[in-house]
Amino acid sequence: MKRLSLFVLIALLAPAAAFAQAAGAAAAAGRVAVVDFQRAVTDNAEGKKAQEKFMAEFNKRQKDFDEKQKAMAESQTKLQNGDKALSESAKADLAKQIDRLSTELQRMNDDAQKELGELQQQLFRPIADKAQKAVESYSVENGFAVVFDSSSQASSIIYKQEVADITTEIIRRMDAAAAKAPAAPAAAAPKPAEPAKK
């Protein structure tokens, strides 16, 4: 049974086409820049807090998953090593226990992927929206016609000058805007969804 797979933060939030426009338009209209959008979302103060919340939930689920996986492995070892010492009914009980644990592990993994994906969206979507606005305003102010997302796996950027990378400035602006904004009341932690009954 595989371990829970760690989500790549922001993979659901920032498709490669979010900023990319036709390269011909850039040549005709103005300058070009790049931004590591994933880093812009996760490396600002608000993004770091969101990462901490996400990883706390992920680690809790991973611990539960590992404990159940360990129990299943112990039962499998006991069944394999005790084939002469165990009665037929004890072997049958162990086999049922292994099947039940395997089903529970699969359900835990499926639920975790769905619920962690929802939590990721809830935590990072507002930050991604703020990053998008910061990129847009910075680009207008500085005459960038096109801003490419260099964090996208689909990015075809093979070279960029450091001066064309606006990521650090976007993070600085987001932190400055958050510092100016009035403090919002702390939101209660989301309640985990009840596991689906199968």
Q: Which residues pair with 149 in a beta bridge?
A: 35
Structural domains of the chain, count: 1
pLDDT of res. 128: 96
- Residue 145: inside a domain, yes or no? yes
Which value, to the nearest 10 degrees, does the dihedral of the CA atoms of residues 181, 182, 183, 188 take?
-90
Q: Which pLDDT value is given to residue 180? A: 87
Cα 8 from Cα 42, distance rounded (Å): 11
Averaged over 65-90, what is the pLDDT? 86
> For all residues of the chain together, what is the average pLDDT?
80
Helix, strand, coil % over all residues of the chain, rounded to 5: 65, 5, 30
pLDDT at 19 over 50: no
CA distances from 176 to 44, 119, 144, 173 (A): 10, 26, 21, 5
**Which residue, 10, 36, 194, is CA-closest to 117?**
10
The percentage of residues in the chain with a pLDDT greater than 70, rounded to a whole number, is 73
Report yes or no on 11 lying in a domain.
no
When pLDDT is cut at 50, 70 and 90, the band that residue 162 belongs to is: low
In a domain, 185, yes or no: no
Which structural domain range is residue 115 located in?
A: 16-180
